[in-house]
Amino acid sequence: MNRYDVAIVGAGHNGLVCASYLARAGRRVLVLEAGQAPGGLAAGREFHPGFRASVAHTVSHFSAKVVRQLDLRKHGFGHSSPNLKTIGLDRDGNHVVLDGDVLSSTAAADAEAFAGYRERMTRFANALQPFWLKTAPAIGSAGLAGSMRGVPPRAPRLKAPSMTFAHMGYRLRRLGKREMREFLRVATLPARDLMDECFQSDVVKATLSWDGLVGSRLAPRSPNGAVLAMLYRMGEASGGAHAVPAGGIDSLVGSLCAAARAAGADIRCGAAVRRILIGERHADGARNGSHPASDGLAVQGVELDSGERIEADCVVSSADPQRTFLDLVGVPFLDIGFTNRIRRLRCQGLVAKLHLALDGVPEFDGLESPDGRMIIAPGLDAMEFAFDAAKYGECPENPVMEMVVPSLHDPSLAPAGQQVLSAHVMYVPYRRKRGWSDTARHAARERAIDTIAQYAPRIRDQIVACEFLTPADIERECHVTGGHWHHTEFAIDQMLMMRPTYQAAQYRTPIPGLYLCGAGCHPGGDLTGAPGHNAAREILQ
Amino acid sequence: MSVSSSPALDAIVIGAGHNGLTNAAYLAKAGLKVVVLEKNDYIGGAAVSRELHEGFTYSNCSYMCSMMRQAIHRDLNLSRHGLILVPYLGTVNSGDGDERLISYHDETAAYLELKRHSPHDADAMHRFQADLTRYSQLIRKTLLRTPPDPARLRPRDISELLFLAKQFWSMGEAQIYEYIRFFTMSAAEFLDDYFENDLIKAAMATPGIIGTALGVCSPGSAYVLLHHVMGDVDGNIGAWGLARGGMGAISNALAGAVREHGGEIRTQAGVRQVLVKNRRATGVVLDNGDQLSARIVVSNLDAKRTFTRIMDASDLPDGIREKADNFKIRGSSGKVNIALSALPKFTGVPDNPYVNRGGQAFSGSMETLERAYDCWKRGRWSDDPFVESVIPSAWDPTVAPPGQHWMSNFIQYCPPQLADGPWTAEKRDQFGQTVVNKIERYSPGFKDLILHMEVRTPHEIEQEIGLTEGNIFQGELTLDQLFFNRPFPGYGQYRMPVRNLYMCGSSTHPGGGVSATCGANAAREILLDLRRPNSVPEDDFFDE
ipTM for the predicted complex: 0.94
**pLDDT band at residue A368 using 50, 70 and 90 as cut-offs:** very high
A260: CB partners within 8 A, 6+ apart? A16, A19, A20, A23, A29, A31, A267
Q: Is the peptide bond prior to B533 cis by the omega test (within 30 degrees of 0)?
A: no
Are B486 and B500 found together in one domain? yes
pLDDT in tens, chain B (544 residues): 444 445 789 999 999 999 999 999 999 999 999 999 999 999 999 999 999 999 999 999 999 888 889 899 999 999 999 999 988 877 899 999 999 999 887 889 999 999 999 999 999 999 999 888 888 888 888 999 999 999 988 999 999 999 998 888 888 888 888 888 888 999 999 999 999 999 999 999 999 999 999 999 999 999 999 888 777 655 565 668 899 999 999 999 999 999 999 999 999 999 999 999 999 999 999 999 999 999 999 999 999 999 999 999 999 999 999 999 999 999 999 999 999 999 999 998 887 766 666 789 999 999 999 999 999 999 999 999 999 999 999 889 999 999 999 999 999 999 999 999 999 999 999 999 999 999 999 999 999 999 999 999 999 999 999 999 999 999 999 999 999 999 999 999 999 999 999 999 999 999 999 999 999 999 999 999 999 999 999 987 654 4
Hey, what amino acid is at B249?
A: A
Are B77 and B148 found together in one domain? no
CB contact under 8 A, B173 and A222: no
Contacts of B149 in chain A (CB under 8 A): 181
Q: Which CATH number characterizes residue B347's domain?
A: 3.90.660
Task: Output the pLDDT for position A143.
Answer: 45
pTM of the predicted model, to two decimals? 0.94
CB pairs under 8 A between A and B: 113
Position B543 in a domain: no
Of the listed ranges A123-127, A244-248, B466-470, the least confidently predicted one is A244-248
**DSSP annotation of B445:** T
Contacts of A193 in chain B (CB under 8 A): 326, 328, 480
Q: Which CATH number characterizes residue B302's domain?
A: 3.50.50.60
B433: CB partners within 8 A, 6+ apart? none
CB contact under 8 A, B480 and A223: yes
Q: Which of B183, B208, B239 is a domain's end point?
A: B239
Are B224 and B301 found together in one domain? no
Are B317 and B342 found together in one domain? no
For residue B488, which of B258, B264, B323, B318 has the smallest C-alpha distance? Answer: B323
CB contact under 8 A, B374 and A388: yes
Kindly state whether B328 is in contact with chain A, defined as any CB-CB distance less than 8 angstroms.
Answer: yes
What is the extent of the structural domain holding B512?
9-85+245-326+479-529
Residue of A nearest to B170 (CA): A145
Kindly state whether B166 is in contact with chain A, defined as any CB-CB distance less than 8 angstroms.
Answer: yes
Hey, what amino acid is at B390?
A: V
Are B312 and B425 found together in one domain? no
Are B282 and B191 found together in one domain? no
Contacts of A223 in chain B (CB under 8 A): 214, 218-220, 478-480
Are B374 and B445 found together in one domain? yes
Number of domains making up chain B: 3
Are B235 and B307 found together in one domain? no
Position B361 in a domain: yes
Between A282 and A187, whose confidence is greater?
A: A187
Task: Output the pLDDT for position B140.
Answer: 86
Position B402 in a domain: yes
Residue of B nearest to A175 (CA): B151
CB B342 within 8 A of CB B403: yes
For testing contact with chain A, the best of B480, B481, B485 (most A CBs within 10 A):
B480
Of A185, A384, A491, the CB nearest to B485: A185
pLDDT at A156 over 50: no
Contacts of B377 in chain A (CB under 8 A): 221, 381, 384-385, 388
Are B429 and B490 found together in one domain? no
Task: Output the pLDDT for position A151.
Answer: 41
Residue of B nearest to A222 (CA): B218
Task: Output the pLDDT for position A160.
Answer: 57
C-alpha pair distances (Å), A72 with each of A67, A528, B268, B493? 5, 13, 76, 52
CB contact under 8 A, A193 and B480: yes
CA distance A217 to chain B (A): 10
pLDDT at A35 over 50: yes
Task: Output the pLDDT for position B181.
Answer: 86
Q: Which of B192, B207, B239 is a domain's end point?
A: B239
- List, in sequence order, every residue forming a beta bridge with A280; answer none if it has no partner: A297
Residue A184 neighbours by CB distance under 10 Å: 19
Residue of A nearest to B171 (CA): A145
Of the listed ranges A77-86, A450-459, A505-514, B279-288, the least confidently predicted one is A77-86
Are B384 and B497 found together in one domain? no
B40: CB partners within 8 A, 6+ apart? B267, B268, B464, B465
Position B538 in a domain: no
Position B390 in a domain: yes
Task: Output the pLDDT for position A149.
Answer: 41
Kindly state whether B220 is in contact with chain A, defined as any CB-CB distance less than 8 angstroms.
Answer: yes
Mean pLDDT, rounded, for A236-242: 89
Position B203 in a domain: yes
Task: Output the pLDDT for position B275.
Answer: 97
CB contact under 8 A, A391 and B370: yes
Residue B434's SS3 state is helix
Residue of B nearest to A196 (CA): B326
Of A182, A196, A225, the CB nearest to B489: A182
Three state DSSP letters for B157-198: HHHHHHHHHHHHHCCCHHHHHHHHHHHHCCHHHHHHCCCCCH
Residue B286 neighbours by CB distance under 10 Å: 18
pLDDT at A142 over 90: no
Are B339 and B318 found together in one domain? no
Of A139, A337, A346, the CB nearest to B176: A139
CB B368 within 8 A of CB B100: no
Position B469 in a domain: no
Strands B9-14 and B34-37: parallel
Of A344, A385, A491, the CB nearest to B193: A344
CB B423 within 8 A of CB B457: yes
Domains in chain A: ranges and CATH: 3-42+59-71+248-345+484-540 (3.50.50.60), 116-233 (no CATH)
Average pLDDT taken over every residue of chain A: 91
Position B36 in a domain: yes
Are B80 and B93 found together in one domain? no
Task: Output the pLDDT for position B317.
Answer: 95
Q: Which of B239, B254, B271 is a domain's end point?
A: B239
For testing contact with chain A, the best of B152, B184, B221 (most A CBs within 10 A):
B184
Kindly state whether A73 is in contact with chain B, defined as any CB-CB distance less than 8 angstroms.
Answer: no
CA distance A344 to chain B (A): 7
